[in-house]
């Protein structure tokens, strides 16, 4: 038994000396559990998403429209914006014609337009327009559901106002006021109450419809049907209408980036193999400099990464019908920048660690963290606002943004340049740090 205990102690000592094994066993699961907990609102008082940008344009002069805007602003899920910076830097109110270019540029993905004819004297019901760019199906369904809930929660009074407006259009304002006063007097006489208070409620459109609809204990189907008939909502999809395989197109970029990061990180750690087997010594004995070796590794990584991405997208084309042939040139451009950023990341890992085991452990941790935070697994908008801002520091976020712009929004080169510029900037910064570390480390012996 003593011998067994000694061997167990030896194994434990070896395990705790291996920092990579310790981090993979304890740190990585802990961080991922923490991330999933934040995403799904575990132990949060206000569970659910928050801070999803929603543009609201109110073209109606009716006070009820302003009330609807206030209801949307009070909904914690949304960060409502009603203005946008003009060319001179000053804020100006958003206009409906601003929505398509701003949504195509992904400044926001959802917008509500309250038109001037929200309440029309010539027709019963309300008129609203909802714009969406459904890059992520889960996010879109969630936002649409909360939008409908918010509107329906406020719509009974709006419908009452619509009925009053329709009556004024048909019989005239004075006759409608006289009719309302008569109704208020009859209600007060039959059921009690102050006729003045009842009249004020009628003029404000409060006919008790909310109580009637909310009190339907036999099922909400009839109430929903009534709302569907009374509320006319135009839904406008600003991008992705012609995408052949929407679900696969939305997720393929995230999974491709995850596999690419693992592959290129593994390739970068091969530097340790060449160091340990004296390959660098033999190469440096010839007319070859360190910079040339590093550049060759960088270009090799880009080639492998680009080939891997293209193969994965071709696989998506064969299996799920993702349309890559009509976007191949732009897709290839994004693949080059994404592969360059991933290669730089892998070389940085090799530069800041001193063994392949440490590099592998750190790579696993960083890749899982970037994929979770960067939106490869679930929508970024489901995370807390602080994490949403942090996600924009990851190359996964910007690579997925590039893939979505090409495959989903059919973006032009001009529209794609800012994303490529960010990926290129990340690559330059990370490679500069990696080369600086390589020149001061012992990777070349």
Residue with tokens 């006759």: 175
Residue with tokens 């011998």: 3
The predicted structure's pLDDT at residue 40:
58
pLDDT top residue among 226 and 435:
435
Four-point Cα dihedral 360, 361, 363, 368, nearest 10: 130
pLDDT top residue among 5 and 75:
75
Least confident of 21-25, 58-62, 188-192, 258-262: 21-25
Split at pLDDT 50, 70, 90, the class of 416 is very high
CA distance 238 to 236: 6
The number of C-alpha atoms within 13 Å of 103 and in the hemisphere containing its C-beta is 27
Mean pLDDT of the chain: 79
pLDDT top residue among 41 and 128:
128
CA distance 264 to 276: 20
The predicted structure's pLDDT at residue 216:
46
Give the DSSP per-residue string, 405-441: HHHTT---HHHHHHHHHHHHHHHHHHHHHHHHHHHHS
**Domain 52-171+208-237 bears CATH identifier 3.40.1710:** yes
- Report the phi/psi class of residue 439: left, alpha or beta, with left for phi > 0 and alpha for psi in -120 to 50: alpha
Split at pLDDT 50, 70, 90, the class of 139 is confident
Strands (E), 254-353: none
Split at pLDDT 50, 70, 90, the class of 38 is low
The predicted structure's pLDDT at residue 212:
52
Helix (H) or strand (E) holding 112: strand 110-114
Asked whether 309 and 354 are in contact (CB, 8 A), the reply is no
pLDDT top residue among 22 and 226:
22
Asked whether 258 and 371 are in contact (CB, 8 A), the reply is yes
Is the pLDDT at 145 greater than 90? The verdict is: no
Residue with tokens 């042939």: 325
Q: Please list the alpha-helical segments (H only) found in 49-136.
A: 63-74, 96-104
% of the chain with per-residue pLDDT over 90: 13
C-alpha Rg value of the chain to the nearest Å? 30
Asked whether 248 and 322 are in contact (CB, 8 A), the reply is yes
CA distance 438 to 227: 66
Query: How many residues in the chain?
Result: 445
CA distance 77 to 145: 11
Phi, psi angles (nearest 5°) of residue 353: -120, 170
CA distance 380 to 28: 20
Average pLDDT on 132-147 reads: 81
Every domain of the chain with CATH number 3.40.1710 lies at 52-171+208-237
Q: DSSP class of residue 75? A: -
Q: What does the block give as tokens for 246?
A: 């929407």
Relative orientation angle of helices 395-407 and 413-440, to the nearest 10 degrees: 150
Give ∠ CA 434-391-354 in degrees, rounded to 5. 25
291-321 pLDDT, tens digit per residue, is 778 888 888 888 888 888 888 888 888 888 8
Split at pLDDT 50, 70, 90, the class of 30 is low
């Amino acid at each position: 038994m003593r011998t067994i205990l000694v061997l167990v102690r030896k194994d434990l000592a070896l395990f705790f000396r291996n920092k990579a094994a310790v981090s993979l066993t304890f740190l990585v699961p802990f961080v991922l559990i923490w991330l999933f907990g934040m995403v799904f609102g575990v132990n949060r008082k206000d569970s659910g998403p928050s801070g999803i940008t929603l543009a609201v344009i109110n073209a109606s002069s009716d006070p009820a429209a302003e009330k609807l805007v206030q209801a949307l602003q009070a909904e914690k899920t949304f960060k409502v914006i009603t203005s946008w910076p003009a060319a001179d830097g000053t804020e100006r109110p958003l206009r409906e014609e601003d929505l398509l270019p701003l949504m195509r540029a992904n400044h926001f993905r959802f917008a509500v337009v309250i038109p001037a004819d929200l309440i029309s004297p010539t027709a019963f019901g309300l008129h609203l327009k909802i714009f969406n760019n459904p890059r992520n199906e889960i996010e879109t369904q969630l936002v649409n559901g909360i939008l409908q809930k918010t509107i329906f929660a406020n719509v009974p009074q709006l419908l009452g106002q619509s009925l009053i407006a329709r009556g004024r259009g048909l019989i005239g304002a004075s006759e409608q006021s006289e009719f309302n006063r008569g109704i208020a007097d009859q209600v007060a006489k039959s059921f009690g109450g102050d006729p003045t208070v009842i009249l004020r409620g009628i003029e404000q459109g409060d006919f008790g419809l909310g109580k009637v609809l909310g009190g339907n204990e036999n099922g909400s189907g009839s109430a929903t049907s009534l709302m569907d008939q009374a509320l006319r909502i135009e839904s406008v999809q600003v991008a992705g209408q012609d995408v052949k395989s929407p679900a696969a197109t939305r997720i393929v970029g995230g999974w491709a980036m995850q596999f690419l990061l693992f592959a290129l990180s593994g390739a970068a750690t091969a530097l340790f193999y060449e160091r340990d087997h004296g390959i660098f010594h033999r190469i440096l004995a010839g007319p070859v400099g360190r910079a040339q070796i590093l550049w060759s590794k960088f270009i090799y990584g880009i080639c492998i990464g680009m080939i891997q991405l293209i193969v994965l997208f071709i696989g998506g084309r064969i299996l799920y019908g993702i349309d890559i042939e009509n976007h191949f040139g732009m897709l290839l451009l994004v693949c080059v920048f994404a592969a360059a950023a991933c290669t730089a990341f892998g070389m940085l890992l090799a530069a800041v660690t001193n063994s392949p085991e440490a590099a592998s452990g750190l790579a696993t941790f960083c890749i899982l963290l970037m994929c979770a935070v960067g939106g490869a697994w679930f929508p970024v908008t489901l995370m807390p606002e602080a994490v949403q801002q942090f996600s924009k520091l990851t190359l996964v976020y910007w690579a997925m943004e590039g893939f979505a712009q090409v495959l989903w929004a059919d973006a032009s080169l001009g529209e794609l340049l800012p994303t490529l510029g960010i990926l290129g900037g990340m690559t330059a910064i990370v490679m500069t740090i990696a080369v600086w570390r390589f020149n001061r480390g012992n990777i070349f012996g």
